[in-house]
Copies of this chain bind each other. A is one copy, B any other.
Amino acid sequence: MNQDAILKSLIADNLVSDPSGARGRLLREAAGLFRDKGYERTTVRDLAAAVGIQSGSLFHHFRTKEEILKAVMVETIRLNTALMQSAVDAAESNADKLRALIRAELESINGQTGEAMAVLVFEWRSLSESSQEEVLKLRDIYEALWLEVLEALRTEDVLAADPFVVRRMLTGALSWTVTWFRPDGGLSLDDLTSQVMGMMGMKQFL
């Protein structure tokens, strides 16, 4: 199943909003504004203007401003979990699965969903505690995918460090690419993936 098919199936199940619909368009614009200006500095008037309606009309679609932030995060995690799952399933060896996970995460951070992923990293504290818990549960599914692969590699002795620690280091390292990586800068996402594998001492799997 390719990326487009996965997205369509999620839309059909009402798990993510259709980007061409009103709600989907707003979430897209919101992700962009939240990343560029930060959640707090983005006003409901900014959000409304971005989709061409009055600020009050926003509250017909969402009850609060925070609900918009939460929706951005939830839908992004849902989509990326599905993409990750399919990337892992398609790979054979554990080293290949790791490579696929790294590649997929880099794609999600620096590709189409990049703005929303940046929001997920940098605007976390703007979520209320109850919303944080909710989002955390979704993240756990996502994280389980990684740990399974990393633990297998540890068992194979390909990995010298603790899988939990490695995953957390990778989370930081890959998230951070959003602050410096530019696809037009002579380094492709595939190159970057190889660099990460190489940095991890997995030269033999480049």
Chain A positions near chain B (C-beta within 8 angstroms): 37-38, 40-41, 122, 125-126, 159-162, 165-166, 168-177, 179-180, 187, 192, 195-196, 198-203
Across the interface, name the chain B residue whose C-beta is closest to A165: B195
Q: Report the nearest B residue to A174, measured CB to CB.
A: B172
- List B contacts of A202 (CB < 8 A): 201
Q: What is the bound-complex CA distance between A40 and B37, given in angstroms?
A: 11
| Nearest CB in chain B to that of A37: its residue | B125
Q: Note all chain B residues with C-beta closer than 8 A to A168.
A: 173, 176-177, 180
Inter-chain contacts of A125 with B (CB < 8 A): 37-38, 122
CB <8 Å contact, A173 and B177: no
Tell me the smallest distance from the CB of A60 to a CB of chain B, in Å. Answer: 26
Contact A176:B180 (CB < 8 A) given known A160-B203, A201-B202:
no
Instruction: Provide the bound-state CA to CA distance between A176 and B165, in Å.
Output: 11
Q: How far, in angstroms, from A201 to B201 measured CA to CA in the complex?
A: 4
Q: List 10 A-B contacts (CB under 8 A).
A: A37-B125, A40-B40, A122-B122, A122-B125, A160-B198, A162-B195, A165-B192, A166-B199, A172-B174, A173-B173
